[in-house]
């Protein structure tokens, strides 16, 4: 809990939703691959163009812009007390191939819109506010994801970040140089008072609950595995049932087990077999080899550990029953993140004050905020995406929801950037 727990944000302060939507449409055209999708892989020309555009807008809005050594961009609006640590907000501008146009961009541009709104009202904050564009959030071009924020928060060294290479062998350091974003500022190592990020949910939970705001309490931890079962390929017509060493039958039992493990810990758990490779994959041969991947998620690491143990025991059992050998490899281990209680409360309170239906939600994906949670009080505002677009991973939303998210983000940021009763006094004047 922080000092602002009981502070009611009684103010009519609102962002300009039309201006924000107009900016989003403009940025959405950079790298567009369809009306609603774009391909703006990290540190490509289109990522560089999107960065240039936002930096120009921020400069116009009077921000001081700095770029750090991993290419993270900080757009700062000074506070009354520049000796105090700043409050940060932001997200990313890079995308997946054919990614959603609001993924990342809405968090960055909402931050910029908030600074413009404060400018228009001539509203001063105690602490400086900084809008950040994090480098290579998606991990689509350079592995791993949330790389820029990860280096900033000390999860990776700068050398590790700069030496990542893409599929063509291009080093991240060279890609940064090429688009002019290898900055002089040191990466991380400074005090941040709080970090709040607005992001599109990328799931169906808010929409089905008719909530326009999600107060994100946690992000699911993740475990990934690659399991190979090895039996014996033999003829379908002449191998008696009791003689078979059928690797695919073993894989089928494991798929069923993974589903059961997920259901056992529902609704917070997710358990998925996303990939299955069978050899020889011929219609009249008993499969001799099957490889499957398992993806487990849960916001509580203790539960993930239990899911892990059940899977490992299951593999031993299935292999023994089926006369199979097995290879078990863990490929991913990400711990769960619990967001700061004061940040979560600030989001809930802002939504309630503004009259937006709000619910607590757990993030299924990792975001830059998960990295920032290592070094500061961090939280997230989710807005719903709409299933009506017909894409499973649809990232579409409406101008009204974006505006709602930005308003909530603004009030939650102000609760941190204005100190105690000064906040109450400032919002009373606004």
> Contact residues for Zn ion (CB under 5 A)?
103-104
Beta carbon of residue 39, minimum distance to Zn ion (angstroms, whole number): 15
Nearer to Zn ion, 133 or 213 (CB): 133
User: What is the pairing mode between strands 285-286 and 234-235?
Assistant: antiparallel
Tokens of 317: 């059992």
Beta carbon of residue 92, minimum distance to Zn ion (angstroms, whole number): 6
Nearer to Zn ion, 40 or 310 (CB): 40
Nearer to Zn ion, 104 or 287 (CB): 104
Q: Which residues are paired to 226 by β-bridges?
A: 293, 329
Terminal CA-CA length for the chain: 26
Beta carbon of residue 94, minimum distance to Zn ion (angstroms, whole number): 9
- Spacing of C-alpha 287 from chain mean position: 38
Beta carbon of residue 257, minimum distance to Zn ion (angstroms, whole number): 32
Distance between CA atoms of residues 101 and 30, nearest Å: 10
Nearer to Zn ion, 217 or 363 (CB): 363
Nearer to Zn ion, 103 or 166 (CB): 103
Does an H or E element contain 150, and which? Answer: helix 147-152
Beta carbon of residue 368, minimum distance to Zn ion (angstroms, whole number): 8
Q: What is the length of the chain?
A: 430
Report which of 341, 417, 416, 402 is spatially closest to residue 198, judged by C-alpha positions: 402
Q: Which residues are paired to 363 by β-bridges?
A: 219
Nearer to Zn ion, 48 or 104 (CB): 104
Residue 56: CB partners within 8 Å, gap ≥ 6?
none
Distance between CA atoms of residues 13 and 7, nearest Å: 16
Beta carbon of residue 100, minimum distance to Zn ion (angstroms, whole number): 9
């Amino acid at each position: 809990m922080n000092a602002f727990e009981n502070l009611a944000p009684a103010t009519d302060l609102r962002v300009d939703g039309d201006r924000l939507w107009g900016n989003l449409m403009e940025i959405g055209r950079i790298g567009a691959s369809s009306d609603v999708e774009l391909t703006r892989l990290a540190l490509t020309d289109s990522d560089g163009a999107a960065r240039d555009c936002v930096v120009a807008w921020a400069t116009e809005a009077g921000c001081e812009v700095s770029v750090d050594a991993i290419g993270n961009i900080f757009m700062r609006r000074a506070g009354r007390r520049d000796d105090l640590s700043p409050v940060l907000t932001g997200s990313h501008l890079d995308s997946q191939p054919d990614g959603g146009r609001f993924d990342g961009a809405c968090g960055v541009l909402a931050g910029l819109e908030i600074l413009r709104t404060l400018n228009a009202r001539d509203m001063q904050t105690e602490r400086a506010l900084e809008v950040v564009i994090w480098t290579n959030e998606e991990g689509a071009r350079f592995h791993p994801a949330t790389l820029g924020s990860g280096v900033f928060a000390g999860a990776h060294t700068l050398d590790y970040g700069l030496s990542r290479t893409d599929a063509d062998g291009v080093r991240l350091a060279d890609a940064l140089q090429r688009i002019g974003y290898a900055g002089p500022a040191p990466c991380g190592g400074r005090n941040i008072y709080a970090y709040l990020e607005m992001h599109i949910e990328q799931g169906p939970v808010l929409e089905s609950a008719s909530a326009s705001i999600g107060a994100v309490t946690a992000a699911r931890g993740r475990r990934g595995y690659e399991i190979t079962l090895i039996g014996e390929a033999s003829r379908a017509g002449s191998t008696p049932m009791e003689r078979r060493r059928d690797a695919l039958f073993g894989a089928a039992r494991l798929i069923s087990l993974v589903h059961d493990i997920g259901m056992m810990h529902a609704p917070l758990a997710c358990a998925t077999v996303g990939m299955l490779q069978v050899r020889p994959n011929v219609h009249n041969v008993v499969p001799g080899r099957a490889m499957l991947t398992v993806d487990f998620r849960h916001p509580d690491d203790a539960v993930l550990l239990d899911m892990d143990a059940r899977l490992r025991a299951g593999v031993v059992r299935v292999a023994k029953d089926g006369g199979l050998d097995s290879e078990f490899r863990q490929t991913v281990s990400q711990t769960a993140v619990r967001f700061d209680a004061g940040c979560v409360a600030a989001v809930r309170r802002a939504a309630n004050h503004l009259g937006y239906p709000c619910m607590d939600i757990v993030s299924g994906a990792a975001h830059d905020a998960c990295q920032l949670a290592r070094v500061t009080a961090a939280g997230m505002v989710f807005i719903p995406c709409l299933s009506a677009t017909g894409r499973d991973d649809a990232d579409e939303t409406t101008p009204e929801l974006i505006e709602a998210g930005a308003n909530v983000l603004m009030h939650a940021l102000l609760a941190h950037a204005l100190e105690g009763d000064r906040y109450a006094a400032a919002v009373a004047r606004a």
